[in-house]
Amino acid sequence: MAASKSFLDSLKKPEPTSFKMTDFRRELHLRHKRDEHAKKERMKALQESKLISKYAITIDTSRARSNCDVLRMCVKELGFKEYPFGRKDNCCDVHWHACHFEDNPEVYGGKVNKFSGMGEICSKMTLFRCLDIMRDLFPTDYDFYPRTWYLPAQFHEFSCEIRKMHERRVKPKPTFIVKPDTGAQGDGIYLLREPNEYSSFNGKCHVAQEYMSNVYLIDKFKFDFRIYVLLKSLEPLEFYICQEGLARFSTLPYENPTNKNIHESFMHLTNYSLNKRSSTFNRSDRDDEGSKRTLTSVLRRIAMNGHDSNKVWKSIERIVCKTIVAIVPEMKVEYQAAVPPGKTGPSCFQVLGFDILLLHNLKPILLEINASPSLSLDSEQEVSPGVFEYVISPKDEEVKYPLIRDTLLHVVPIDKLKYFRKRKKRRLLKKLKASSSQKMKRPEPLVKQRTSIVIIKADESDEEKREVNVTQQMSEMHMDIDSSASHGESTARDANSDDERESNLKSDTELDEEVDNYFETKLRESCLKQLYPAIYDEECERYRILERVAGLFIYFLGIRGSLRIGPTGFRTFARKCRLNRKGMTNASVDIMYIDLQRRWDHMNPERTSGLCYQGFLDACIEIARRKFYAPSKIEMLENLVDHCELSLNLKDNDLANNLPRLHFRRLGLQYRQGSLYAMPRRIMEQMTEETTIEDLLKAHEKKLRQPSKEDIESFLRRSRRTIYQPSSTAAVLSAHRSPDSE
């Protein structure tokens, strides 16, 4: 103001020219400098804010509800940015919902921790139906869950089975467990021995299962495992198993079911939410004691009892793989309805809870999948009779905290994570350099980082335990750093003279390597182990046939985002797949459609028109049985799907659409089933870079005529044209509809 005033004054009052001009120039110069300075400051602030918003890893926890505590702890430790009330633009890297994908329909990007329709898919009826279909195709491989009936629809079959068992005088007397379709936490579950004991309240649907009475006991109690699985992506399929879980114990010593004890839920059910109300619930904090224990402690106990716990764990891993593969086709159908191709939508991941029971012979049995497993860290404690207090349960924390932390590390954007690591690394390096020049002092940032975790923990006695734990971890880390710092046998601390110390100072590159190694080890320490594709890729490949059927279903849906195929879509399917050449007339196609629609009516409570995916699958199985006869069901279905895919390829004659979905993996090229366009695996295994697209299509066609091995080999030997271009395949892949690409 003063400056402008003097400037105006100078204009009004004529002064001696020389004085006026110097004043004016000085004033102008000062102003200019001031503006420059302000501009620089503004730019700096802007740059900083841009830097933060661009690289900060943002987590929306506004809908996390009971997951909030553990999520918040992880977000804090990892240094990510939490949005407890969400962001106005709904633009976070991760949106954490406690229940459903549909919780926030406004999310168009980032990642959501729920798949669309997963709650429904994991409901007992849908899950066991999916597994039943697989059991039908692979009877010996899908034998890891109890026989199931769907009530009231299958009440007649259920009663007949019980009657037959009675007639055969099966010993011990068979018992069944009835569970509400969408129930949880043991609600509404009861055991029965006679069909007339079944009662369907309010027309609710139930599943009835064989009650597995010969279970493995520990300290005379029945227990089941809660195994956590991270389903990271659907296309390509990728999932991980958490190597730590929980074991939930019943609170009354177990006895085989009798008419007398059949109603004792604290004996037959192992749900924590139910047993915590029992007066005999044991809240011991010791790992291998109490009504809730860690999975590893129970596996250790099994090993101590002289059994092979590794074998048990491997069987559990296999069950997880087979179950996920069984539900993936349904998930794909649901996903395309929630995020139809062309619509921007978030990609999804999900933490699932598998409940697994161990039989007396240590065979694991799948009981159910929880789409929203409890991630709460609280447990109730009775401080005085009838007065309960919520305290942090160390066992829950030990399992759920690393699970969520590592889940977040797996799903946040990789480029941001890289930058984030770099920043952490820079800070760590700076401290290390400073400390290495000061007699190799212990690096402080790590200490701070770890102690911040300790503060969050609640219980005092635990705090001590954890502090020891943390100090151990720190010292291990320092040992690492120190040991790599040492040259030969001498360490920096041993060096007394300044000269010696100088010689022990690490160069920048050495420090750099150390810090890199540190982060590498931290990453490797993840509690999540990749099951698919890393380990069970090949083993599960043959189970993925139904994804191809789901691919056909989605292809012919007609209306994008729909869940049911109409009569026109079904007719188009028959026409385009040239089923008429196999002797199916239009009339027989229509009759089959009407017939199946009626049969699947119970899966359509809203009475919308159309046939659901499972009805379509039934149709495919029926067509395969009639027109593609082979010794086994799976071969029939494979023949039908191969035929349909081939017909579609030839019809469209469009390479972009006809290319089978290929995947580059490890050193070679391998074909992964699960896409719409499939190839015989044998051929794909022998495929080289010189194999052409035409060759593949010919090979596919030949497969239908059952070529011999020599046929295929000679065919591949003959194919030497090099049209096959990895880059063009990638382009085609990206053009192909991809429900949930990572």
Judged by CB under 6 A, which of 97, 111, 179, 506 binds ligand ADP? Answer: 179
- CA dist 306 and 681 (Å) reads 41
Please name which of 230, 119, 228, 198 lies closest in space to residue 530, comparing C-alpha atoms: 230
Task: Say whether residue 367 binds ligand ADP (CB under 6 A).
Answer: yes
Name which of residues 137 to 166 contact ligand ADP (CB under 6 A).
146
Task: Say whether residue 211 binds ligand ADP (CB under 6 A).
Answer: yes
Total residues binding ligand ADP (CB under 6 A): 20
Please name which of 357, 350, 365 lies closest in space to residue 121, comparing C-alpha atoms: 350
Distance in Å, CB of 354 to ligand ADP, minimum:
10
Task: Say whether residue 518 binds ligand ADP (CB under 6 A).
Answer: no
Stretch that binds ligand ADP, among 28-36, 186-194, 317-325, 614-622 (CB under 6 A): 186-194
- CA dist 401 and 395 (Å) reads 10
357 membership: H or E segment, kind and range? strand 350-358
| Contact string (CB under 6 A) for ligand ADP, positions 341-360, x = contact | --------------x-x---
Distance in Å, CB of 189 to ligand ADP, minimum:
6
628: DSSP letter: S
Closest to ligand ADP by CB, 144 or 613: 144
* Burial environment of residue 692 by CB neighbours within 10 A (0 to 12, 13 to 18, 19 or more): middle
Task: Say whether residue 212 binds ligand ADP (CB under 6 A).
Answer: yes
Task: Say whether residue 216 binds ligand ADP (CB under 6 A).
Answer: no
- CA dist 128 and 148 (Å) reads 7
In degrees rounded to 5, what are phi and psi of residue 366? -80, 130
- CA dist 515 and 421 (Å) reads 10
Task: Say whether residue 406 binds ligand ADP (CB under 6 A).
Answer: no
Tell me which residue has tokens 């029971």: 357
* Buried-state track 250-280, b at ≥16 Cβ within 10 A, e below 16: bbbebeebeeeebebbbbbbbbbebbbeeee
- CA dist 111 and 96 (Å) reads 8
Distance in Å, CB of 135 to ligand ADP, minimum:
15
Distance in Å, CB of 667 to ligand ADP, minimum:
43
Distance in Å, CB of 210 to ligand ADP, minimum:
6
Stretch that binds ligand ADP, among 127-135, 205-213, 607-615, 658-666 (CB under 6 A): 205-213
Task: Say whether residue 368 binds ligand ADP (CB under 6 A).
Answer: yes
Q: What is the number of other CB atoms lying within 10 angstroms of the CB of residue 390?
A: 12
Distance in Å, CB of 311 to ligand ADP, minimum:
22
What is the DSSP secondary-structure string of 661-689?
Answer: PEEE-SSSEEE-S-SSS---HHHHHT--T
Distance in Å, CB of 187 to ligand ADP, minimum:
6
What's the half-sphere exposure (Cβ side, CA atoms, 13 Å) at 73?
A: 26
Distance in Å, CB of 212 to ligand ADP, minimum:
4
Name which of residues 259 to 288 contact ligand ADP (CB under 6 A).
269-271
Closest to ligand ADP by CB, 158 or 671: 158
Closest to ligand ADP by CB, 119 or 346: 119
Closest to ligand ADP by CB, 3 or 359: 359
- CA dist 288 and 460 (Å) reads 21
Stretch that binds ligand ADP, among 185-193, 230-238, 298-306, 497-505 (CB under 6 A): 185-193
- CA dist 10 and 707 (Å) reads 102
CA 487 to chain CA centroid, nearest Å: 44
Distance in Å, CB of 153 to ligand ADP, minimum:
19
Residues that bind ligand ADP (CB under 6 A): 146, 177, 179, 183-187, 189, 209, 211-212, 224, 269-271, 355, 357, 367-368
